[in-house]
Each structure stands twice: as C-alpha cells, then as structure tokens.
C-alpha cells in the first residue's frame, strides 16, 4: 500500500509524471470552494487537459445530494472506465469523490490529492470511502483503493489553524494506538513542527501497516477507530445543529478522552496514563460544551456504529499507551458516564 503513496514537496511533479505515463481517456478534477481557490492553481500546471467539478465545502455537503450532482457531471462529461477522477481536497472530497468513483459505472479510476492535514495523515490512506446519511457518519460507502495518493505538504500553508488541529487529532490517535515513543516526545511539544513531511510520513506508515494487515476491517483495523465510537456520536449529534457543528478531529479528541476514561474503568489504563492523554489533548483543543440533557441522545447515536454487532456496542480501548484492543463491549450507560466524566474535567 505504501508503494502507491507519494509524500513530499516533489509530489505535484510526481503527479505530473504519473499522468504523462498513463493514458486516461478523460480526466476530471473534483474540488470544493476552498480547494478550488487555494490548491487547484498549484496543481493545474501539472495536469493534461481536464474539466473541473466544484462542490460546496464542509461535512454537511458530504451527502447523497452532492453525489447526485457529481454523478450527473460525470455522466454529462461521458466519463468511461478508462477515465480518471482526481480528488483534490480534504477528507470530505476524498471520501465522497472516492465513493462516487467507486460506484460510477461500477468503478472508475481515482487518485487522491489530499489537501488537509487530516486527509494527508489519515483519510487518503486505506480505501475507506463514503458519505453521511441521515446524519450518520460514513453510513453509505465502499472500500475502494485509489490508483495513487500524492501528498504535498505545501498545501498546509493555506489551511486554517482549526483544520490543522483537527488533523492533528488523528496523528495523536495513531501515536496512542501504536507509537508510545512518539506520544511521549510530542506530548510536551504540541502541534508545532517545522517538518510536516516527517510527521505525515510517520502517521501514514502507522495507518498503512494496520490497513495492510486487515484492509476490510474484520479485526485489527478497528484500532484505527479509537475515539470514534463516542466521537462520531458527538459529531453526528452536532452536525445539523446550526452553528454547533464540530470538525471531525475536534469530536474525535473528545472521543479519545472518553474512551481513555472507559479504558481506565476496565483497568486497561492507569490514572496517570489517562491524565497524560487528557493534558496533551487539552493543551491543543478547547473544551467542548456538552449539555447534560443532550447526553442520552448523543450516546444513543453510537448504536449505529459500524463496529457493533446487532445492538451490542463494540469499542476500541487502550491497553497502555501505544497499544489498542478492539471489540470491547460497552453499554449506553458507559458512554453516558464517559461524557459526564468529560464534562467534569
């Protein structure tokens, strides 16, 4: 999997070379409002003739209605199975573009050009594509690998700080589940780095190794979902509340604290380890206000989590920092308890 991923400042040139050496009959670039302005001008010089589709930015548009628009455009432009869709954007564009490519004419080629930190370290790797449905996160989707991923850290220069922090949550997650040494070093440094390429390469390496062992998430891959049982429930709850939507990483940061607390409740983490995790996360992210009367409704949303079996909620917990265990059965009451704990911090 790693061999399909190019990371570094020469990535756009590498994309250009790749396209020169492959004969696609048509090419379409999928962008959102922001990546059209900030990223497309950097990529365009490396591309052969193509058309552009521009969709509205943001999680709220990662839905069937936007897909329908994309499929209409692909149809009008007569893309075939020898055509290529280039997804130029963050995780929303990558997930939705990958899904649209994966089902259009039962699958056309696509390439991921992730432009946010989150999509560079996580979403562009591993072939999970999809969209939200009735507010539930990634409820419709397919596993579908892109032909290639080109990761150009230079895109991060125009990324707003809140988005940078959102992506950093998935980096912290990777350290928590697999790399204690990096967690120990970075917990005192925080978000600062002058070497994004190294940070991205390490994170992509952690994710790619897990995915290679279990591409379809039958077992081990569930560790990449640490923080997401509670995090996705909270993200879903807030998504359609005007002005209250959380970024994915912001919700996952809360989820990681809640699920660390649940790990401690089971004797899998020590109080000191939980404290280290909380201190690190709260040094980067502002506290999220959670109204006590919203907690039962948030917890209930976890019943739709894809790791569950029937109505049994199965969560990934930490057994020590740097080591995750999956398929841990938890209850709605546990989730509520963990959210109350988060409020109490």
Ligand X SMILES: NC(=O)c1ccc[n+]([C@@H]2O[C@H](COP(=O)([O-])OP(=O)(O)OC[C@H]3O[C@@H](n4cnc5c(N)ncnc54)[C@H](O)[C@@H]3O)[C@@H](O)[C@H]2O)c1
Ligand Y SMILES: O=C(O)C(=O)C[C@@H](O)[C@H](O)[C@H](O)COP(=O)(O)O
Chain contacts with ligand Y (rule: CB under 6 A) = 122, 126, 128, 137-138, 170, 217, 221, 224-225, 228, 306
Instruction: Evaluate whether 250 touches 166 at the Cβ level (below 8 Å).
Output: yes
Does 6 participate in binding ligand X (rule CB under 6 A)?
Answer: no
Quote the least distance from Cβ 155 to ligand Y, whole Å.
19
d(CA 209, CA 213): 6
Binding mask 109-138 for ligand X (x = CB under 6 A): ------xx-xx--xx--x-x--------xx
Residue of 223, 320, 327 whose CA lies nearest to 268: 320
Does 285 participate in binding ligand X (rule CB under 6 A)?
Answer: no
d(CA 125, CA 145): 8
Question: Which pairing describes strands 324-330 and 313-318: parallel, antiparallel, or unpaired?
Answer: antiparallel
Number of residue whose CB is nearest ligand X: 91
C-alpha triplet 179, 340, 246: angle, nearest 5°? 65
- For ligand X, give the closer residue by CB, 55 or 268: 55
Does 155 participate in binding ligand X (rule CB under 6 A)?
Answer: yes
Quote the least distance from Cβ 37 to ligand X, whole Å.
8
Quote the least distance from Cβ 4 to ligand X, whole Å.
15
Contacts with ligand X by CB under 6 A: the residue count is 32
Ranges assigned E (strand) in the chain: 5-7, 27-32, 51-55, 84-89, 109-114, 128-133, 136-143, 148-151, 313-318, 324-330
- 221 contact, one of ligand Y, ligand X, none, CB 5-8 Å limit per kind: ligand Y
- 225 contact, one of ligand X, ligand Y, none, CB 5-8 Å limit per kind: ligand Y
Does 93 participate in binding ligand X (rule CB under 6 A)?
Answer: yes
Quote the least distance from Cβ 323 to ligand Y, whole Å.
17
- 148 contact, one of ligand X, ligand Y, none, CB 5-8 Å limit per kind: none
Binding mask 217-256 for ligand X (x = CB under 6 A): -------------------------------x--------
Query: Which residue's structure tokens are 């209930």?
Result: 300
Quote the least distance from Cβ 78 to ligand X, whole Å.
28
Residue of 179, 201, 229, 230 whose CA lies nearest to 339: 230
d(CA 124, CA 119): 5
The window from 22-30, 63-71, 90-98, 272-280 that contacts ligand X (CB under 6 A) reads 90-98
For 37-66, letters b (16+ CB in 10 Å) and e give eebbebbeebbeeeeebebebebebbbeeb
Residue 269 CB contacts under 8 Å (≥ 6 apart), including other chains: 260, 263, 277, 318, 319, 320, 321
Answer positive or negative: Cα dihedral of 283, 285, 290, 296: negative
Number of residue whose CB is nearest ligand Y: 138
- For ligand Y, give the closer residue by CB, 43 or 125: 125
Does 174 participate in binding ligand X (rule CB under 6 A)?
Answer: no
Binding site for ligand X (CB under 6 A): 32, 34-35, 38-39, 57-59, 62, 89-93, 95, 115-116, 118-119, 122-123, 126, 128, 137-138, 155, 158-159, 163, 166, 170, 248
């Amino acid at each position: 999997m790693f061999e399909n991923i190019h990371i570094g400042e020469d990535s756009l040139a590498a994309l250009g070379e790749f396209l020169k050496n492959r004969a696609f009959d048509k090419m379409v670039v999928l962008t959102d409002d922001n990546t059209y302005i900030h990223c497309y001008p950097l990529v365009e010089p490396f591309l052969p003739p193509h058309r552009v589709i521009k969709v509205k930015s943001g999680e709220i548009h990662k839905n069937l209605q936007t897909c329908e628009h994309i499929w209409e455009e692909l149809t009008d432009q007569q893309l075939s199975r020898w055509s290529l869709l280039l997804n130029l954007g963050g995780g929303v564009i990558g997930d939705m573009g990958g899904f649209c490519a994966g089902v259009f004419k039962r699958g056309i080629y696509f390439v991921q050009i992730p432009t946010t930190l989150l999509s560079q370290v996580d979403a562009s790797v591993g072939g999970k594509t999809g969209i939200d449905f009735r507010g539930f996160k990634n409820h419709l989707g397919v596993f579908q690998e892109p032909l290639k991923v080109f990761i150009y850290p230079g895109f991060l220069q125009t990324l707003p700080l809140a988005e940078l922090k959102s992506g950093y949550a998935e980096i912290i997650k990777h350290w928590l589940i697999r790399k204690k040494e990096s967690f120990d070093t970075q917990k005192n440094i925080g978000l600062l780095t002058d070497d994004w390429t190294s940070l991205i390469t390490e994170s992509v390496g952690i994710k790619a190794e897990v995915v290679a062992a279990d591409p379809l998430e039958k077992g081990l891959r569930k560790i990449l979902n640490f923080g997401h049982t509670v995090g996705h429930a909270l993200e879903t709850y807030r998504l359609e509340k005007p002005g209250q939507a959380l970024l994915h990483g912001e919700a996952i940061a809360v989820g990681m604290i809640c699920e660390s607390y649940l790990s401690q409740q089971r004797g899998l983490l020590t109080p000191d380890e939980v404290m280290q995790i909380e201190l690190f996360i709260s040094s980067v992210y502002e506290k999220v206000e959670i109204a006590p009367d919203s907690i039962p409704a948030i917890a209930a949303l976890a019943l739709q989590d894809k790791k569950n079996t029937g109505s049994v909620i199965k969560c990934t917990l930490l057994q020590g920092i740097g080591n995750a265990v999956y398929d841990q059965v938890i209850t709605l009451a546990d989730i509520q308890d963990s959210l109350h704990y988060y409020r109490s911090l």
